[in-house]
Chains A and B, each alone.
Chain A
Amino acid sequence: MKALVFSRKPAKYAAAVLAGQLSPGRGAKVGPLALRDVDPPDLPGPRWVHVRPRLAGICGSDLATIDGTSSRWFEPIVSFPFTPGHEVVGDLDDGTRVAIVPVLSCVTRAVHPPCFACARGEINHCERLAYGDLEPGLQCGFCESTGGGWSTRMVAHEDQLVPVPDSLSDEAAVLVEPMACAVHAAAQVTASGVAVVGAGTLGLLTIAALRAARAGVEIVAAAKHPHQRTLAASLGADVVVAPGELDRTIRSRTSSMRLDNGQLTGGVDAVVDCVGSAESLAQALRIASPGGTIHVVGMPGVTAVDLTPLWQREVALRGTYAYERADFDTAMALAAELDLGRLLTASYPLRRYEDAIAHAATAGARGAVKIAFDLRSERERERR
């Protein structure tokens, strides 16, 4: 079968780091990602099935991996070589169309008894990501045992399968996984006023999830590109401004004062950082109110940020990762309700993976939101 495979090749990885710094997404050209003919992954156990991906999204965490900007934190919880792709809608061999909950929790790893988190249903907090019957991997798409969506065939535990209703298009269904992240993030936010930093896929979906969760919440969104502003407003943001205008907007809307160096004396009670960069975190720290909370939804990396305001203003910094199973159900409903298929801007066949990665890495500037691989026409997909 055809699969994009990410191998542990230090020299190529170093080249990817360099190329990624020069131009986002260039790591795909020179790095350890390659299109290969490989054997399909074996079923790890009796409750596992084969899945033939239909569409598989390209996520920010994938891009960070390809361009070598991911944190080394992940090293013990991924296994090489792996096939990326954790935003997947695909077919089972019996023709059932499913979305995949990619988190590889205790159930999928046949860990008995499950860890405390999994016992509570908090699969995103699973403490056994490197143990059990599977090779290490926090999710499908980062685990050698399961394969990933950027291929014509992968495996999934039946506990990971969420049937997709016939009425929901593949284009909308491929957004269910990131939507579930957004649903989970929105559930953490209790403040009545929220600033959302970043309006890529995750930012836009978080705006939608916040609005769906609480009609009365005031959402101020910072979006860099015109199409992002339009979408942010249509998905529920009350106010959409350019990133450079966010500080002033928050000052004005919260009746805060502004000191000579630009820092606010007050701010908004909740900031949802859907970027995760040093700049976005610094901005979040500037605009969060004393006692407020910053929810880090976008995947950060090794970052240098002045944490003085965090200390002086008793701001809480809270990570928000993935979802619980119930979030997927909510996300599936919202995907239909909000016509999320419109966020899928372009899709590519596997052989054009370099173009796909480049497009995804510069999506905002190119007027795009979500880029995905389209496996539906891949010949190898039909081989058993």
Chain B
Amino acid sequence: MPRPGFVLEVDKSTPPILFHHGESLRLERLPAGRSRVLYPGEPLDALDDVDGAIRRALDNPLGDLEPLHALLRPGMKLTIAFDDISLPLPPMRRPDVRQRVIEAVLDLAAAAGVDDVHLIAALALHRRMTESELRHAVGDRVYDAFAPQGLLYNHDAEDPDNLTFLGTTPHGEEVEISKRAAESDLLVYVNINLVSMDGGWKSTATGLSSYRSLRHHHNVQTMQQSRSFMDRHKSELHSSNWRMGEVLRSSGLQIFQIETTLNNDTFGTSGPMSVLQKREWEWNPRDRASFIAMKAGLDRMPMKARRRIFQSWKAPYGVTSVQAGEVEAVHEATTANVFAQQLVEIEGQTDILTMGLPYICPYNVNSVMNPILVMCLGLGYFFNMYRGRPLVREGGVLIMSHPTPWEFHPVHHPSYIDFFEQVLADTTDPIEIEARYEKHYAEDEWYRHLYRTSYAYHGVHPFYMWYWGSHALSHLGKVIIVGGEARSVRRLGFTPASTLNDALEMAADVVGRDATITHLHNPPIVMADVT
């Protein structure tokens, strides 16, 4: 029976706490008497028979929808869209659950005589997936059967000939998605719901859409009005996607949504990484030795080698649920399963929120965690891992640990470099950034070219990263990065600190010397249910 997440009150006997620090790790002692640590739950039990669960889900859809096999017929156009490289994090060991689901869907399609099938990586404005990444997601068998014929491909949000405008929501939001998907008799969406932000109408309305559509919810106003975007019912990001979903539904597009959830088994229960998943006071001598050796080894390695080691890690996640059918009904069940793993109740807000940022976020798989992504991971994702109220009070301080190098992947993040050099050098105010710079970057021909033909995130993508943190930016009194490259940290508009103690001293200027501290012990993923 896995133990649920919980809140540890730090006292004098509490050992140093693990902080992820990019491609390294730190142990930090938190002040006794005023600190607490929010621990994630242990990995929920995985399904014993994932393939059986998939078949049952396809045969027993949720909501007002027939079983999948009943929706399939010869001569029909079937499109299978699936989540891209940004999910899950880290990538999961083979076979990826997308592969299992897609194979099951294709088996049914083949049995029904469906021969017009396209598979699309629903990457919106993310970078295109490489062949090896696609093979990892869908499996070699599917890749070899479809990709050579051009039937398995990356969505292209900048291909005007292959986008279809489906209408406008009552709020004036334009809905434009992949033409192939829009003109299909059935769109099957295969999702991995790593966090509660994922899935639902966001899968299609975002994943298969264009900048024309995305700009209606990927903006500062939407993000600042979401409390948080991890809580669908209080998320303006999701409200917009749900309105767009209504437009998709009204257009006659039939969608069969398949959502899956994973447990928290990020680092495994054996091997050197497993210590990262244990609670510190439960580390045995072997764990301690393993940690010391791992940290010493990492700290001596060049960054490139460290990055290669971490990026090659594939998590041994277990699949905890598969649900299929009508989008909204499916997503309600999915969200409940996500919360069952990740949600941990915690009483009251804190003055100072600390977090150790790991080496990976949704946008640097097989890539570099550049400073903008550091901001996005900390102030976007981790800060918003709450339900109810932010874990840190308004005017409070966020202390993140990450090396924050002034380094960018030149192929994946070309517009990020310009954003960092040119936009952030001018202003860090999301509203001003959006008004003055977004359109130019979004319509830049070079970025467009690289997005379409290389492996670059869309020109506008760094803006979205910045917007993702805009709620936190307006909420927080100060942001401090421990161990970060000072000039990068300053360019972000934050304060660099050499040590956690220095950071706490700096924070005291904002929130006082007796300020309460809460450490978000993430990853594995934990979401605060703040009462």
A residues near B (Cβ < 8 Å) are 239, 241-242, 245, 248-249, 251-252, 255-258
Could you tell me if B418 and A252 are in contact, using CB atoms closer than 8 angstroms? yes
Q: Please, which residue of chain B has its CB at the minimum distance from the CB of A251?
A: B446
User: Looking at the complex, which one of B421, B422, B441, B445 makes contact with A257 (CB distance below 8 Å)?
Assistant: B445
A248 touches B418 (CB 8 A): yes
Q: Inside 8 A of A256's CB, which chain B residues have their CB?
A: 446
Query: Beta-carbon contacts of B436-447 to A below 8 Å, as 1s and 0s?
Result: 000011001110
Nearest-neighbour CB distance to chain B for A264, whole angstroms, equals 9
Q: Is B425 an interface residue (CB 8 A)?
A: yes
Task: Out of B421, B440, B445, B446, name the residue touching A249 (CB < 8 Å).
Answer: B421
B34 at the binding interface (Cβ < 8 Å): no
Cα A248 to Cα B447 in complex, Å, equals 12
Is B449 part of the contact surface with A, judged by Cβ < 8 Å? yes
Q: How far is the CB of B408 from chain A (nearest CB, A)?
A: 11
CA distance A291 to B397 in the complex (A): 53
Nearest chain-A residue to B420 (Cβ)?
A245
Chain A contacts of B441 at CB under 8 A?
Answer: 252
B302: shortest Cβ distance to chain A, in Å? 23
Q: Restricting to B413-429, which residues have a CB under 8 Å from any CB of A?
A: 414, 417-418, 421-422, 425-426
Nearest A residue to B415 by beta-carbon distance? A252
CA A258 to CA B421, docked complex, whole Å: 16
Nearest residue in A to B459 (C-beta to C-beta)? A252
Instruction: Report the separation of the CA atoms of residues A258 and B444 in the bound assembly, to the nearest whole angstrom.
Output: 11
**Contact between chains at B445 and A252 (CB < 8 Å):** no
Pair A248/B444 contact, Cβ less than 8 Å = no
For B449, list chain A residues within 8 Å (CB).
257
Report yes or no: A241 in contact with B444, Cβ–Cβ below 8 A. no
Q: List 11 A-B contacts (CB under 8 A).
A: A239-B422, A241-B421, A241-B425, A242-B421, A248-B417, A249-B422, A252-B422, A255-B446, A256-B446, A258-B414, A258-B446
CA distance A192 to B341 in the complex (A): 59
Contacts of B444 in A (CB 8 A): 252, 255
**In the complex, how many angstroms separate the beta carbon of B442 from the nearest chain A beta carbon?**
12
Complex Cα spacing A249 to B440, Å: 12
Chain B facing A: main interface SS: helix
C-alpha spacing A57/B425, complex, angstroms: 33
Contacts of B426 in A (CB 8 A): 239
Task: Determine the residue in chain A with the shortest Cβ distance to B449.
Answer: A257
Which residues of B have CB within 8 Å of A245? 421-422
Of all chain A residues, the one with the shortest Cβ separation from B425 is A241
Q: Name the CB-closest residue of B to A220.
A: B422
- Closest chain-A Cβ to B218's Cβ sits at a distance in Å of 21
Q: Contact partner of B446 among A241, A242, A257, CB < 8 A?
A: A257
Q: Give 5 closest A-B pairs by Cβ, nearest first.
A: A245-B421, A257-B446, A252-B418, A248-B418, A249-B422
Beta-carbon nearest neighbor of B443 in chain A: A255
Q: A248-B422, A258-B446 are in contact. List 9 more A-B contacts (CB 8 A).
A: A239-B422, A241-B422, A241-B425, A242-B421, A248-B418, A252-B440, A255-B444, A255-B445, A256-B446
Alpha-carbon separation in the docked complex, A239 to B444 (Å): 19
* Assembled-state Cα–Cα distance A242/B441 (Å): 20
Measured CB to CB, the closest approach of chain A to B280, in angstroms, equals 43
Chain A residue contacts of B417, Cβ below 8 A: 248
Residue of B nearest to A242 (CB): B421
* Residue numbers in B under 8 Å from A239 (CB-CB): 422, 426
Chain A contacts for B421, CB-based, 8 A: 241-242, 245, 248-249
A248 to B421, CA, bound (A): 9
Query: Separation in Å of the A37 CB from the closest CB of chain B?
Result: 51
Q: A256 vs B449: C-alpha distance in the bound complex, in angstroms?
A: 11
User: How many angstroms between the C-alpha atoms of A101 and B446 in the bound complex?
Assistant: 48
Q: Which residue of B lies closest to A258 (CB)?
A: B446
A258 CB to nearest chain B CB (Å): 6
**A268 CB to nearest chain B CB (Å):** 14
Q: In the assembly, what is the distance between CA of A256 and CA of B426, in Å?
A: 21
Q: What are the residues of chain A within 8 A of B446 when measuring CB–CB?
A: 251, 255-258
**Most chain B CB atoms below 10 A, which of A239, A248, A251, A256:** A248
In the complex, chain B residues whose CB is within 8 Å of the CB of A255? 444-446
Closest to A248 in B: B418
Cα distance A252–B444 in the bound complex, in angstroms: 8
Q: Which residue of A lies closest to B447 (CB)?
A: A252
Query: In the assembly, what is the distance between CA of A257 and CA of B454, in Å?
Result: 14
Bound together, the chains give a CA A252 to CA B441 distance in angstroms of: 8
User: Cα distance A251–B441 when bound, in Å?
Assistant: 11
A145 to B446, CA, bound (A): 58
Complex-state Cα separation, A252 to B414, whole angstroms: 11
Question: Closest residue of chain A to B445, judged by CB?
Answer: A255
Smallest CB-CB separation from A239: which chain B residue?
A: B422
A252 to B421, CA, bound (A): 11
**What's the nearest-Cβ distance from chain B to residue A46, in Å?**
58
Q: How far is the CB of A376 from chain B (nearest CB, A)?
A: 41
Give Cα A257–Cα B441 distance, bound, in whole angstroms.
13
Q: With A and B bound together, what is the CA distance between A256 and B418 in angstroms?
A: 13
Contacts of B425 in A (CB 8 A): 241
* CB closest chain-A residue, reference B446: A257
Complex CA gap A241/B444 in Å reads 20
Residues of B within 8 A of A241 (CB): 421-422, 425
Provide the bound-state CA to CA distance between A140 and B81, in Å. Answer: 77
* Chain B residues within 8 Å of A251, by CB: 418, 446
The closest CB in chain B to the CB of A246 belongs to B421
CA gap between A255 and B447 in the complex, in Å: 10
A172 to B111, CA, bound (A): 88
Name A229's closest neighbour in chain B (CB-CB): B425
Shortest Cβ distance from residue A97 to the other chain B in the assembled complex, whole angstroms: 42
Tell me, in angstroms, the Cα distance from A255 to B439 when the chains sit together.
Answer: 12
CB distance from A205 to the nearest CB of B (A): 23
A240, closest chain B residue (CB): B425
Nearest Cβ distance between residue B360 and chain A, in whole angstroms?
26
- Chain A residues lying within 8 Å of B445, measured Cβ to Cβ, are 255, 257
Residue of A239, A249, A252 ringed by the most chain B CB atoms within 10 A: A252
Chain A nearest CB from B215 CB (Å) reads 19
CB of A379, distance to nearest CB on chain B (Å):
48
CB distance from B436 to the nearest CB of A (A): 12
Contacts of B418 in A (CB 8 A): 248-249, 251-252
Q: Interface digits, B171-203 against A, CB 8 Å rule (1 contact, 0 not)?
A: 000000000000000000000000000000000
Q: Which residue of A lies closest to B422 (CB)?
A: A249
- In the complex the two chains form, what is the Cα distance from A325 to B444 in whole Å? 45
Bound CA–CA A377/B50 (angstroms): 91
Give complex CA distance A242, B420 in Å: 12
Bound complex: CA of A89 vs CA of B441, how far in Å?
Answer: 49
Interface residues of B in 362-387 (CB under 8 A from A): none
